[in-house]
Amino acid sequence: MDKKYILMAAIIVLTLISCQDKAQKKQISNKKPSKEILASEDEDHGNSIDYDNTKVLETLYVTDRNGTEIKDHANDNSKTLGNYEYGEKLSVIEINENWLGVMDRITREYTTKDGTKISSNGWEKIYVARKAAGPISQVYLIQSDLNIIRYLTINQKTDFFEKGKPLNKYLKIELIDQELFDSKKNTSISFLVADTTEIKKTNGIIELKCANKIKKFIDKPDAEENREEYKYVGQIDFLNEYVITGSYWESSDYKLIDKNTGEQTSSFGEYPFISPDKKHVISIYANPYESTADLELYAINKNNKIDPVLNVSFKNWMPSEDLFWSTDNYLYVAVNGTSAYWTADGRLNNNYQYLRIKVLL
């Protein structure tokens, strides 16, 4: 599980790129932000600033759940340039009684007197209502956020939902408090036998003794795009499987290896957590590329084989590595809202919220 921290530097970079991409996509608009405004040459071209020599006074976040308008100047009658969504990060460079001056990269479209269209993109000081912003502690999940998804894959068919869609079957997700979360840790269930002292890597090679063969996993740490590094995790007796985790150039996974044949039987994006009733497997991953919670659900059939049920991507939250099944057949997960997953300095936010997930199959 700690392999995710190896990717932390990449996650932070991706976060910064994502923030910049969002800024670059902001277009000048009227009351409907999707429409561009074409300005004549002599109209106001915004409050241009020098990015390198502009001091950020503090980092705040949009705390109005309806979002907030982006204004050209610090007054209600100023031109509306677009909207910030709930939870978006604001680099504040000016603080007034009712307004915050925010540094952002803005794209503008102009039409010259001869009809030529000109596009410009640069750093500007724009304004948002002060009452609509606050610290990261004021950005939090509510119950209706939990089941909003970006995509759903069932039977190899994937549906995408650009604006999000509620998942109202397959899984039940509930917000809970930390007291309940902590109390359920005393009844957590795991089927993993972590016999890592028995099976060790030697000279970059892991050997798994199977009934019909010896299965080898060989590290290739210097192979660049073809890099492979493996770690033995343990075994799951009732499935008769070894568990191996692999780290590659831009990905990682967990594999189940049959202890008789030495063949891989299943692969997961994250560690496969098995439900106490031995009927389901959930693997859940904080996706740093899309800022989503990517969940894989599997069913364990009567032959103790694992069959895929669905893959789903949750839009509004991302999991920590603190998760477990309890004897009540709920999966408990410490999470943060997507916008609050990292702090302003790029660290993981450890001010968690908590939820539990029940399979409805």
**Beta-carbon contacts of residue 257 (< 8 Å; ≥ 6 apart):** 208, 210, 215, 241, 242, 243, 244, 263, 264, 265
- Residue-level pLDDT at 264: 97
- Residue-level pLDDT at 159: 97
Whether 133 has a pLDDT exceeding 60, the answer reads yes
Rounded Cα gap, residues 127 and 80, in angstroms:
10
Provide the token pair at 283.
């693997």
Q: Percent of the chain, pLDDT > 70?
A: 88
Q: How many CB atoms lie within 10 A of CB 167?
A: 19
Mean pLDDT across 235-257: 97
Whether 21 has a pLDDT exceeding 70, the answer reads no
Whether 184 has a pLDDT exceeding 90, the answer reads yes
**Could you give the maximum distance between any two Cα atoms of the chain, in Å?**
81
- Residue-level pLDDT at 301: 97
Rounded Cα gap, residues 325 and 255, in angstroms:
20
Whether 43 has a pLDDT exceeding 70, the answer reads no
- Residue-level pLDDT at 32: 35
What domains sit in the chain, N to C, each tagged with a CATH number?
3-138 (2.30.30.40), 143-359 (no CATH)
Rounded Cα gap, residues 102 and 124, in angstroms:
8
Q: Each residue of 269-298: pLDDT tens digit?
A: 999 999 999 999 999 999 999 999 999 999
Sheet holding 192-193, edge to edge: 192-193, 228-236, 241-248, 252-258, 264-268
Whether 254 has a pLDDT exceeding 50, the answer reads yes
Whether 358 has a pLDDT exceeding 90, the answer reads yes
DSSP calls for 142-193: -GGGTTEEEEEEETTEEEEEEEEEE--SSEEEEEE-HHHHHHHGGGEE--EE
Mean pLDDT across 310-337: 97
Mean pLDDT across 240-255: 96
- For residue 297, what are the CA distances in angstroms to 23, 166, 274, 311, 320? 35, 17, 10, 6, 18
Whether 11 has a pLDDT exceeding 80, the answer reads no
Mean pLDDT across 5-17: 45
* Residue given tokens 């063949």 in the structure block: 263
Q: Give this prediction's pTM.
A: 0.83
Q: Each residue of 203-234: pLDDT tens digit?
A: 999 999 999 899 999 999 999 999 999 999 99
- Residue-level pLDDT at 243: 98
- Residue-level pLDDT at 345: 87
Rounded Cα gap, residues 144 and 224, in angstroms:
43
Distance of CA 241 to the CA centre of its chain: 30
What mean pLDDT value characterizes the chain? 89
- Residue-level pLDDT at 212: 85
The pLDDT confidence band at residue 1, using thresholds 50, 70 and 90, is: very low
Rounded Cα gap, residues 136 and 62, in angstroms:
9
Q: Each residue of 79-98: pLDDT tens digit?
A: 999 999 999 999 999 999 99
Whether 238 has a pLDDT exceeding 90, the answer reads yes
- Residue-level pLDDT at 322: 97
The pLDDT confidence band at residue 24, using thresholds 50, 70 and 90, is: very low
Reported as half-sphere exposure (CB side, CA atoms, 13 A), residue 98 has a value of 5
- For residue 353, what are the CA distances in angstroms to 65, 179, 305, 325? 17, 11, 34, 17
Mean pLDDT across 307-336: 98
Q: Each residue of 61-70: pLDDT tens digit?
A: 999 999 999 9
- Shortest CA distance to 133 belongs to which of 105, 99, 108, 170? 99
